[in-house]
Amino acid sequence: MSTSVAAKKGSSVEQLALLGGPKAVQSPPGDLFTWPIITKEEEEAVLEVLRRGGMSGIDVTMQFEKEFAAWQGTKYALGFNNGTAALHGALFGCGVGTGDEVICPSITYWASALPVFSLGATVVFADIDPVTLCIDPNDIEHRITDRTKAIMVVHYLGHPADMDRILAIARRYGLKVIEDVSHAQGGLYKGRKLGTFGDVAAMSLMSGKSLVAGEAGMLVTNDTEIYERAIAFGHYERFDDHITTEYLRQFQGLPLGGYKYRMHQLSAAVGRVQLKYYDQRCEEIRQAMNYFWDLLEGVPGIRAHRVAKDSGSNMAGWYAPHGHYVPEELGGLSITRFAEAVRAEGCQCVPGCNLPLHTHPVFNTADVYNEGKPTRIARSTRDVRQPAGSLPISEGIGRRVFSVPWFKRFRPALIEEYAAAFRKVATHYRSLLKDDPGDPPQIGTWHFFTHR
């Protein structure tokens, strides 16, 4: 535990900034949050491609894929123009088609679930575990039917899902497992890299994520058929004589799925440089984030969202870090009021996370493809829709998590100021109870990333 001046100063003597006191965070952040870190090396790599007019080629992308597969530890890596497309390719790769069902956590970004619709299949949502915030292995099995094709696993906010138990279920029922690694590129689960557990993994490399190529995505797998199906789906330029899957060869040279999904080579060029430094930068992020949470150990009402220290698992690049909120320990203080008070201290803090997808009209009433029925049930023999109240953890999680700063650098003195902001608010919660307006009915967001 730190005994620095900044940490002590915030602990008890001061009035909350929201009630007129001084802010806990006084120092300018400098490069504490700067991301991605872009240097001359990326600029030169991009200019090389740009000047020779190589934007639509695949030579740089294939080099990136080769390096990526080596880093990932998979036989294949296939570049996409974004993570959504990579997930689409992974679903097609697994053979997801008309009438199939894919089990997916309700708390995730749209792209883990929505591409399923365009393959004629539908989504069945599972609840999340309130501690890991990933799909709850206890809530999968009873949702499996003879139409279930795959389980979509999301390592949410950098936290690895419980792969041992998920894989055991998948094996028992002969289901494919797709890992969405968009929040946890390069992370470990029990010493092994995320993205190597399922039949296939896909991930975003867009510029808000921890591993950045700009706008890009990557599919990784050891399965030749999945890889070649993903190529057939939207990569006509490499759908050639190298394809070994016999039934695909007749369609050689065309994007069988009707999609064109190759990575922009300016992004591939950026990605190659970013990947070189990624593990080292993630290590610094984890050092900074763990330091922050260590400072807050034992503070009432808040808990870290992180893995146990000697589990062999880690939080990857700790994308969009959050903490757990325990209002019972703070006299029932609303998370809305709590976060407002933290922000007044000069520290970003937003209540909630992604809103539960199963409650959105897109998954209940929207007829996306003009079939005269909600798309969710248009091609299935049963109504798989899940009413409000059916996934209680997902529906209530917005009141129990809040965002914390995503430190990219290990700068202890600065980090102590941000930790002090949380400690100060949690310690002085009583003074916030009086004018607590309570929470709005829904807390969270349909979109994380702020475009700029």
Ligand X SMILES: *Cc1c(COP(=O)(O)O)cnc(C)c1O
**Spatial separation of the C-alpha atoms in residues 397 and 360, rounded to whole Å:** 16
Kindly state the smallest distance separating residue 214's Cβ from ligand X, in Å. Answer: 10
Q: How many other CB atoms sit within 10 Å of the CB of residue 312?
A: 12
Return the number of the residue (10 or 398) whose C-beta is nearest ligand X: 398
Binding stretches for ligand X (CB under 6 A): 82-84, 87, 108-109, 111-112, 154, 180, 182-183, 204, 206, 217
- Residue among 202, 225, 235, 200 at smallest CA distance from 84: 202
CB 187 within 8 A of CB 193: yes
Return the number of the residue (217 or 374) whose C-beta is nearest ligand X: 217
Return the number of the residue (16 or 194) whose C-beta is nearest ligand X: 194
- Residue among 395, 396, 403, 400 at smallest CA distance from 449: 403
Residue with the two structure tokens 């896909």: 202
Calculate helix-pair angle for 59-72, 265-295, nearest 10 degrees.
30
- DSSP letter, residue 337: H
By beta carbon distance, the residue nearest ligand X is 83
**Spatial separation of the C-alpha atoms in residues 299 and 430, rounded to whole Å:** 14
Pairing, β 401-403 against β 322-325: antiparallel
Kindly state the smallest distance separating residue 182's Cβ from ligand X, in Å. Answer: 3
**Spatial separation of the C-alpha atoms in residues 256 and 232, rounded to whole Å:** 5
Return the number of the residue (84 or 359) whose C-beta is nearest ligand X: 84
Return the number of the residue (84 or 148) whose C-beta is nearest ligand X: 84
Kindly state the smallest distance separating residue 203's Cβ from ligand X, in Å. Answer: 8
Return the number of the residue (82 or 403) whose C-beta is nearest ligand X: 82
Q: What are phi and psi of 287, to 5 degrees?
A: -65, -45
Kindly state the smallest distance separating residue 50's Cβ from ligand X, in Å. Answer: 22
Which listed residue (23, 176, 209, 424) is catalytic?
209
Structure tokens, 14: 């001061």
Distances (CA, A) of 90 to 22, 73, 125, 147, 179: 51, 17, 18, 18, 9
CB 354 within 8 A of CB 180: no
Kindly state the smallest distance separating residue 204's Cβ from ligand X, in Å. Answer: 3
8 among known catalytic residues: no
Could you give the residue numbers annotated as active site? 209
